[in-house]
Amino acid sequence: MKKGLWEQVVVRDAYYIWDKSGTHLSYSAWIAKQKVICVVPLLDPDNPWVCNYVQEVDHVKKDLRMGKRAEDEPWRLVAMCQNHNTWHPPRKQLRAAERSYLAIRYPEHWFEPCS
């Protein structure tokens, strides 16, 4: 993975989580209290697994396919805890939510240009 990419993805997703949290804390005060940044509770509220405190990033493929993982680019990565990424891998519903989340932020990498 490119130097700084992991941190870029975690910061991007942390800001999204903070923005959606409705907290009265400033971003810097809120982030200081976080042990892990994981988008799963927002993208899949019905997910039964609780976050743990090991930070990872998940590779999200553009299309459903087996084999090679998605490339190491910000538009293909989301921040997750180890519990949601490794121990209980994302289900189809969460994968679809991840794709939508990334497509909104990086439409030029998720949609084909119109002719």
Q: What is the pLDDT of residues 11-29, one digit of tens each?
A: 999 999 999 998 999 999 9
Question: Looking at the domain assignment, is residue 23 inside a domain?
Answer: no
pTM of the model: 0.84
Q: Which domain holds residue 85?
A: 5-18+33-110
Question: Looking at the domain assignment, is residue 43 inside a domain?
Answer: yes
* pLDDT tens profile 32-66: 999 899 999 999 988 888 888 899 999 898 777 66
Question: Looking at the domain assignment, is residue 71 inside a domain?
Answer: yes
> What's the total number of domains in the chain?
1
Question: Looking at the domain assignment, is residue 25 inside a domain?
Answer: no
Question: What local confidence, expressed as pLDDT, does residue 65 receive?
Answer: 67
Question: Looking at the domain assignment, is residue 91 inside a domain?
Answer: yes
Tokens coding 88: 């209980």
The phi, psi pair for 78, rounded to 5°, reads -135, 150
Could you give the count of Cα atoms lying within 13 Å of 48 in the half-sphere of its Cβ? 1
Question: Looking at the domain assignment, is residue 27 inside a domain?
Answer: no
Strands (E), 1-115: 55-59, 77-81
**Is residue 41 a contact partner of residue 18, using CB atoms and an 8 Å limit?**
no
**Is residue 82 a contact partner of residue 52, using CB atoms and an 8 Å limit?**
yes
